[in-house]
Amino acid sequence: MRVVFLGLPGSGKGTQAALIATAAGVPHIATGDLFRQHVRDRTELGQTVRGYMDRGENVPDQLTIAMVRGRLQEPDAARGFVLDGFPRTLPQAEALDTLLQDLGAPLDCALYLEVDGELVIRRMTGRRVCPKCGAVYHVEAKPPKTAGVCDACGTALVQRSDDREDVVRHRIEVQWAEAEPLVPYYAAQHKLREVRGDGPVDEVAATVASALGLPSA
């Protein structure tokens, strides 16, 4: 199964993409996670992309596409993949089609998780992460047992700099302007599936699975 997830940041696509990848037995490839790993590892790419990420701006297409091209050629992606956070722009979508054409493995479908913008802002500004083990919490939806402390390792939780409200609003405006053309792009290829993303996680997961022709978990 080769699928891309489309949707605003905070639409829940990360959660849904991970569930679907597990159900289908393919890797969940999230470009945000790949970039954050580069920043943590202090690679050259990590140093270059850090400023864009802190400002809530997209990393330039050329760098993003090169990273995804490398990742999709790793052996585990030969079985298929669920891409999350990529493509985010039309040039990225076109580059992905070209790459998959070269690999002889075209995309099966683009799943668009639709949510209300204000809901996204509430979800994203409430997110807290553990800087040590990477566990993710939410002040309303998934609070840790002790406020502000990681359940798994006891480290003080932090808000990602790109989850602050001013950064989130800016990011949503920028991303919506760039991502909007992806919907008609995949619709024209008859690959678009649209699912409402604002219900409970398990209900959305069941709808997503059925849209992708998978049995629900």
CB of 89 to ligand AMP, least distance (A): 7
- Helix 117-125 to helix 165-179 angle (10° resolution) is 140
Is 122 one of the catalytic residues? no
Give the closest residue to 14 by CA, choosing from 105, 136, 99.
136
- In the chain, the N- to C-terminal Cα span, in Å, equals 16
CB of 58 to ligand AMP, least distance (A): 4
List, in sequence order, every residue forming a beta bridge with 136; answer none if it has no partner: 129
Closest CB to ligand AMP among 149 and 183? 183
CB of 37 to ligand AMP, least distance (A): 11
Is 13 one of the catalytic residues? yes
- Phi/psi for 160 (5° steps) reads -60, 140
| Residues across the chain | 217
Which residues would be at the binding site for ligand AMP (CB under 6 A)?
Answer: 9, 31-32, 35, 52-53, 56-59, 64, 85-86, 88, 92, 162, 171
Is 42 one of the catalytic residues? no
Closest CB to ligand AMP among 128 and 171? 171
Is 36 one of the catalytic residues? no
- Give the strand pairing for 127-129 and 136-138: antiparallel
Residue nearest to ligand AMP (CB): 32
Is 50 one of the catalytic residues? no
Active site members: 13, 88, 127, 160, 171
